[in-house]
Every structure is written in structure tokens, then in C-alpha cells.
Amino acid sequence: MSAYEGELRELVALAGQVLTALGLVDYLGHVSARIPGTDRVVVKPKHSPAVRGMAALGAGDMVVVDLDGSLVEGPRVESTARPPAEVFIHTEIYRARPDVAAVVHTHQRAATLAGVLGLPIRPVLHVPATFVPDDPPTWPHPVLVDTAELGRDLAATLGDERYCHLQGHGIVSVAADVREATVGAAMLEQLAEAALAGASTGTKPRVITPTEIETLRGQVAGVEGRWAYFCDLAAAGEAR
């Protein structure tokens, strides 16, 4: 294992802990990272009696798969070395998107509900708007993405976007970095919560304009500070 692959394993495990601390996953959901220069992917293993919630998993528990979804390397306990059933969410997005190096799939509540309702998630909050400037596309299926064909269909719906609804199922967030994909999922959830709250009032929201979003991108801090803060939350939760 290269040093960089080891770092990716640590990052994927930490992303799972962050998503748990933020309430965006329970024992389900998964994060992956493409190993640069290869057709291999580090991903959280399939949930089982031995593999519990994401907060309990470390770098040594991660598995490595190829783009066919086949296991290449397992964790410390080989008997539990199984990719997630929906590994094709990850592998087929990586096939379709050379620019993507990280994929996050969650069942986060507000964004999932917005997808069920067909409620647009609009850029109405200044920091999240810099991550999610447009309403994500919707893949109109609640089924598990447990075949390559379904993965390809989802990837086609995602297109060149960074987010996609799996209607009645959850979301995907993709980026060139695990931290950005993870923080992006959190920003999507904040905007979804705002959309749901706004819809309950019957009032039309004031949407931040593309020009304002570009200005904000030069004003607000980047992903690093938010990632560090979310990691602190995850560490505090572990301490409790």
C-alpha cells in the first residue's frame, strides 16, 4: 500500500465520522475516494454484524475495489471484506467523470425529503450557495443501485453536476476531494432545510444571484476551515 493510499483510507474513514456527527448518516451510507493514477477506489465496506456505523470504522476497515466493483483489498478482518451493495454508485460515476475523485452517498433527511416532494433546493444562504448554486437533478428511483446498469443510469442523470437526488432514497455529492464532497453534502442539507422551512410559510424566497455567488466565493473561507470544524465535532462526539 502506498503512503497516499493510506492517507485516502484515513480520509474516507474520517468523512464517515464527520457525516455521522452531522446527523447525515446512521449505519448506512458510504464514502469513497479514487486512488490517483489507478482504476481502484477506497470505499467504506458493506454494513454487517461486524461492520457497524460509520463512526466506528477506521482506515484499516476500508476496502479497495476496481471499477467493476470487485474486491481488490479487504480490511484487517478478511471475513468481513465486502464492498457495499451500492458500490456501483461510486464506480460508475468514476467511469463517467474523470474529474471526480470522491463520492459521498447519504440518506440525509432534509435533502431526501426535498427530492421526494420535488421541492427545488435553491441558493438562499450565503455560504451554502457557494457550494450548491443550482437545484440538483433528480434520478427518479428509490431502488438500491446494486447493478452497473443502474449505476450508469444514475451517473447519466448526475451529468456534470456535483449533486443528485436519488428520489426517495438519498443523495450523492461528488467532488475532486473527499473533504469537499463531504462538506458539500452538509451544505446541501442546510439549503434543503431552508427550502422546507420556506415552503411551509408559502413565501417566495430571495434567491442569491450567480453574480453574488461569485462575489461570495471570493469572500467566504474555503472548504478547509469547515472541514476542520466538522472534524472537531466528530472528535467531540467520540469523546462523549
Catalytic residues: 86
Write out the H or E segment, with its range, that includes residue 40. strand 40-43
Q: Which three cell numbers stand for residue 86?
A: 451500492
Residue corresponding to grid cell 474523470: 98
Q: DSSP string spanning 155-208?
A: HHHHTT-SEEEETTTEEEEEESSHHHHHHHHHHHHHHHHHHHHHHHHTPPP-PP
Q: Which three cell numbers stand for residue 149?
A: 446498469
Q: Which three cell numbers stand for residue 228?
A: 476542520
Q: Which three cell numbers stand for residue 187?
A: 451544505
Q: Are 51 and 45 in contact (CB under 8 A)?
A: yes
Considering only CA atoms, which of 191, 143, 188 is closest in space to residue 167?
Answer: 143
Q: Compute the CA torsion angle 209, 210, 214, 220 (nearest 10 deg).
A: 50
